[in-house]
Amino acid sequence: LMRKVVIELLAWQFASPVRWIETQDLLFIEEAAGGLGIERFVEIGVKNAPTVAGLATNTLKLPEYSHNTTEVLNAERDAAVLFATDTDPEPELDESPEETAPSAEAAPAAAPAAPAPAAAPSGGPRPDDLTFDAADATTALIALSAKIRIDQIEALDSIESITDGASSRRNQMLVDLGSELNLGAIDGAAEADLAGLKGQVTKLARTYKPFGPVLSDAINDQLRTVFGPSGKRPAYIAERVKKVWELGDGWVKHATVELALGTR
């Protein structure tokens, strides 16, 4: 009997359609048009794989939902919003050096601290700043998702080959890529080689500003693990790159990604 029950349950599951499109229509269409018109959609799942939230986000980007105001959240990723524990970010202290000078003068004498690393000679020629565009974000996201280094990704690799054809990993990577670049589905993204994919996203996401939601979460989680024992904040990377190395914002982004990837 148990064997028959298991077979019947599996057969019912595999034979039943998901009907996700119809479900989304019911949830997101306004009440006046026969839908439920929900205000908030919450996926109960882990933040590193917001599959359903990603699908819902991409659906709401379609033209027919252009006036929809539904908020899409993931229970773990957006826990602070859900439980109303989020706060405004603290101001970065290193962005106002002139304000920190008086406090430094007023501080009582303390034991001498370790000498700071010598800064690069001021006024000398410095390397041109780097860009961090959608193509760079694509490479970084693939490396983070696949748990590999950027230099391990070959020009002819594709998302399909990197995920070894595993549909769940491939689909999640595609959803993450669309969320990071604020794009919907990217035609042929799974099969395109890296060079072709980078060229495609560069054209589609010309207004991309690093980092998007996916890279921000992944990088910040890793940097908290790395910096936790030292008490330093991720802003320390920008401070060192700009003040000690005298390099631009683009170098900060690339250094941040390399640090996150290299310390896993």
Compute CA distances 220 → 52, 160, 184, 217, 236, whole Å. Answer: 22, 27, 24, 5, 13
Residues 148 and 37 in one domain: no
Residues 257 and 140 in one domain: yes
Residues 151 and 241 in one domain: yes
Q: What span, in angstroms and rounded, lies between the C-alpha atoms of 221 and 195?
A: 29
Q: Answer whether residue 193 is part of any domain.
A: yes
Q: Answer whether residue 120 is part of any domain.
A: no
* Per-residue tens of pLDDT for the chain, all 264 residues: 888 888 888 888 777 777 788 888 889 988 888 889 899 999 988 887 788 888 888 888 888 888 888 999 999 888 888 888 866 555 555 555 454 445 445 444 444 554 555 444 555 678 899 999 999 999 999 999 888 889 899 888 999 999 887 888 889 999 999 999 988 778 889 999 999 999 999 999 999 998 999 999 999 888 888 887 777 787 889 999 998 989 999 999 999 999 998 887
Q: Which pTM was predicted? A: 0.54
Residues 58 and 154 in one domain: no
State the virtual CA torsion across 217, 222, 227, 231 in degrees, nearest 10. Answer: 40
CB 173 within 8 A of CB 51: no
Domain that holds residue 68: 16-82
CB 179 within 8 A of CB 214: yes
Q: Which residue has the tokens 């589609």?
A: 204
Q: Answer whether residue 110 is part of any domain.
A: no
Quote the number of domains for the chain. 2
